């Protein structure tokens, strides 16, 4: 832990930083999964899905920065290298053999839903630790992920 004059207790900050780094790994993984879909989607709805998957990746990128910077603001170290993410992400492995747009929609929406659930858990956990700011950050992330999940899932709902 780095020295800080942040008034949250050290033990609570340590727990919050652990939660933030767990979601940071998941967020970086989710971004790369969205890019995997973006690069490899094929089919009759190619351009719409190609652009949507890139929109998801771009939005998640912004949240990655928020999560990482919050961890460092609390005196921690943001753990966001590719090697750390590969070892610690809790998201399921993205299927590399798919190309069909519907299959990518299903795979990416599954990852987004799982990430959203874990972020909502983070809201509750950090709220209990007395860190309303991190809970609010996670609320912002959750709201955006839910909106993007709606956009993605709309392609398979009829």
Mind listing the pLDDT tens digit for each residue in 124-152? 999 999 999 999 999 999 999 999 999 99
Residue found by looking up tokens 């190619």 in the block: 46
Q: How confident is the model at residue 2 (pLDDT cuts 50, 70, 90)?
A: confident
pLDDT of residue 4: 81
> What is the crossing angle of helices 46-73 and 101-128, to 10°?
20
pTM of whole model > 0.75? Answer: yes
Work out the burial of residue 76: count CB atoms within 10 Å of its CB; fewer than 13 is exposed, 13-18 middle, 19 or more buried: buried
Mind listing the pLDDT tens digit for each residue in 37-86? 999 999 989 999 999 999 999 999 999 999 999 999 999 999 999 999 99
Instruction: Provide the terminal-to-terminal Cα distance of the chain, rounded to the nearest Å.
Output: 50
Mean pLDDT of 98-123: 97
pLDDT of residue 3: 82
Q: Which of 58, 73, 66 is nearest to 24 (CA)?
A: 66
Q: How far apart are CA 152 and CA 18, in angstroms?
A: 30
Mind listing the pLDDT tens digit for each residue in 11-44? 999 999 999 999 999 999 999 999 999 999 999 8
Delineate the domains of the chain, giving CATH numbers in brackets. 10-153 (1.20.1260.10)
């Amino acid at each position: 832990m780095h020295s800080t004059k942040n008034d949250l207790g050290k033990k609570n900050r340590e727990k919050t930083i652990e939660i933030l780094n767990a979601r940071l790994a998941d967020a970086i993984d989710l971004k790369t999964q969205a890019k995997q879909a973006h690069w490899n989607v094929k089919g009759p709805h190619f351009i719409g899905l190609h652009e949507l998957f890139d929109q998801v990746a771009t939005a998640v990128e912004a949240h990655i920065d928020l999560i990482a910077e919050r961890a460092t603001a609390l005196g921690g170290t943001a753990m966001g290298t590719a090697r750390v993410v590969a070892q610690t992400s809790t998201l399921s492995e993205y299927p590399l053999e798919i190309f069909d747009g519907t299959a990518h929609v299903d795979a990416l929406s599954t990852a987004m839903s799982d990430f959203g659930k874990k972020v909502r858990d983070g809201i509750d956990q950090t709220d209990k630790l007395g860190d309303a700011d991190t809970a609010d950050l996670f609320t912002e992330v959750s709201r955006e992920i839910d909106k993007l999940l709606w956009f993605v899932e709309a392609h398979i709902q009829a």
